[in-house]
């Protein structure tokens, strides 16, 4: 990280408001819940109940793994994976921007199709390219919080204060650029843990996941990506796409064409008053 980026990050974290007392209390309760099974395992081993210890460990591991790794799992808190029942359109969401090499092309493709999207932005990148953030908003798109630094491999492992820094940090970054903070949040890679729900509640955020994707973040064959997306393109779908890769504009164009061929409008969740439930 260069000196300019480091100074920007430090400045953002200095602006973060303290975690509210209610949020701290909920985090402490969640921590107690998380360590209780481990304590039970230790006590069972000490007292010789090895089979009981194995069962507790196994069940705890399964529950935590499912709640953390599966993006659509509501075990650790409310989220939406699709638009409300009865919605006739689809929602296009674009993660990981902004970037000067790719975001302008995405905006132009959306304009070509008269479509609006939700851009889930990374705070660090937004700080580096505030003019792109403002341009996204100027063109009528919705901006969401995708964490400050996008710790893809470790977000689900973060303790409450570090989670707060990531989520609140991005809120303050985007508030500083746009004059208002987002109302939607998407965790990096879709992973979350039992501390996140209270933090989102304190910041007035709802979590939006997805139910339609083509893995365009890792694939580079546009035709394969579109074939993967197409079966789930139906009314109420939330489509996950990515910024900051060389094929993102082509993938977006192909997706929007398929949406048009199906006769589906592209809508924003704000237009539908979608609520996490």
Q: What is the pLDDT of residue 127?
A: 97
Q: What is the pLDDT of residue 272?
A: 52
Q: What does the block give as tokens for 95?
A: 């993660």
Q: What is the pLDDT of residue 262?
A: 97
List, in order, residues 6 or more apart from 221 with CB less than 8 Å away: none
Query: Rounded distance, CA 126 to CA 136, Å?
Result: 11
Query: Rounded distance, CA 81 to CA 238, Å?
Result: 7
Q: What is the pLDDT of residue 273?
A: 44
HEC string of the chain equals: CCHHHHHHHHHHHHHCCCCCHHHHHHHHHHHHHHHHHHHHHHHHHHCCCHHHHHHHHHHHHHHHHHHHHCCCCCCCCCCECCCCCCCCCEEEEEEEECCCCCHHHHHHHHHHCCCCEEEEECHHHHHHCHHHHHHHHHCCCEEEECCCCCCCCCHHHCCHHHHHHHHHHHHHHHHHHHCCCCCEECCHHHCCCCCHHHHHHHCCCEEECCCEECCCCCCCCHHHHHHHHHHHCCCCCEEEEECCCCCHHHHHHHHHHHHHHCCCCECCHHHHCCCCC
User: Residues of the chain whose pLDDT is less than 70?
Assistant: 1-14, 31-45, 52-69, 270-277
Nearest to 198, CA basis, from 17, 22, 13? 22
Q: What is the pLDDT of residue 61?
A: 59
Catalytic residue among 95, 96, 216, 243: 95
Contact 238, 114 (CB under 8 A): no
Q: What is the pLDDT of residue 36?
A: 55
Contact 102, 251 (CB under 8 A): no
Q: What is the pLDDT of residue 33?
A: 62
Catalytic residue among 96, 216, 242, 243: 242
Question: pTM of the prediction?
Answer: 0.84
Q: What does the block give as tokens for 200?
A: 């989102």
Query: Rounded distance, CA 95 to CA 241, Å?
Result: 6
Q: What is the pLDDT of residue 74?
A: 76
Q: What is the pLDDT of residue 257?
A: 98
Angle at 118 between CA 138 and CA 197, to 5 degrees: 125
Query: Rounded distance, CA 247 to CA 227, Å?
Result: 15
Q: What is the pLDDT of residue 185?
A: 98
Q: What is the pLDDT of residue 1?
A: 46
Establish whether 242 is a catalytic residue: yes
Establish whether 95 is a catalytic residue: yes
Using the structure block, give the residue that is written with the tokens 């007035």: 204
Contact 71, 257 (CB under 8 A): no
């Amino acid at each position: 990280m260069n000196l300019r980026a480091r100074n920007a990050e430090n400045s953002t974290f200095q602006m973060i408001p303290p975690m509210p007392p209610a949020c701290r209390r909920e985090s402490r309760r969640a921590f107690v819940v998380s360590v209780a099974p481990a304590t039970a395992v230790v006590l069972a081993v000490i007292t010789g109940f090895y089979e009981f210890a194995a069962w507790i460990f196994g069940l705890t591991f399964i529950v935590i793994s499912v709640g953390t790794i599966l993006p659509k799992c509501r075990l650790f808190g409310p989220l939406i994976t699709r638009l409300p029942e009865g919605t006739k359109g689809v929602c296009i969401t674009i993660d990981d921007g902004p970037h000067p090499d790719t975001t302008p092309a995405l905006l132009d493709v959306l304009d070509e199709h008269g479509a609006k999207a939700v851009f889930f932005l990374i705070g660090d990148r937004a700080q580096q390219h505030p003019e792109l953030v403002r341009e996204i908003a100027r063109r009528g798109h919705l901006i969401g919080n995708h964490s400050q630094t996008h710790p893809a491999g470790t977000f689900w492992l973060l303790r409450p204060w570090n989670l707060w820094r990531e989520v609140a940090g991005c809120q303050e970054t985007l508030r500083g650029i746009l004059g208002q903070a987002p109302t939607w949040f998407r965790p990096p890679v879709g992973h979350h843990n039992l501390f996140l729900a209270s933090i989102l509640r304190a910041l007035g955020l709802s979590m939006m996941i997805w139910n339609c994707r083509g893995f365009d973040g890792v694939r580079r064959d546009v035709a394969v990506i579109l074939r993967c997306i197409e079966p789930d393109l139906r009314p109420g779908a939330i489509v996950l796409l990515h910024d900051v890769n060389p094929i993102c504009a082509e993938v977006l164009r192909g997706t929007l064409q398929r949406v048009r061929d199906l006769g589906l409008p592209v809508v924003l969740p704000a237009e539908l008053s979608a609520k996490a439930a």
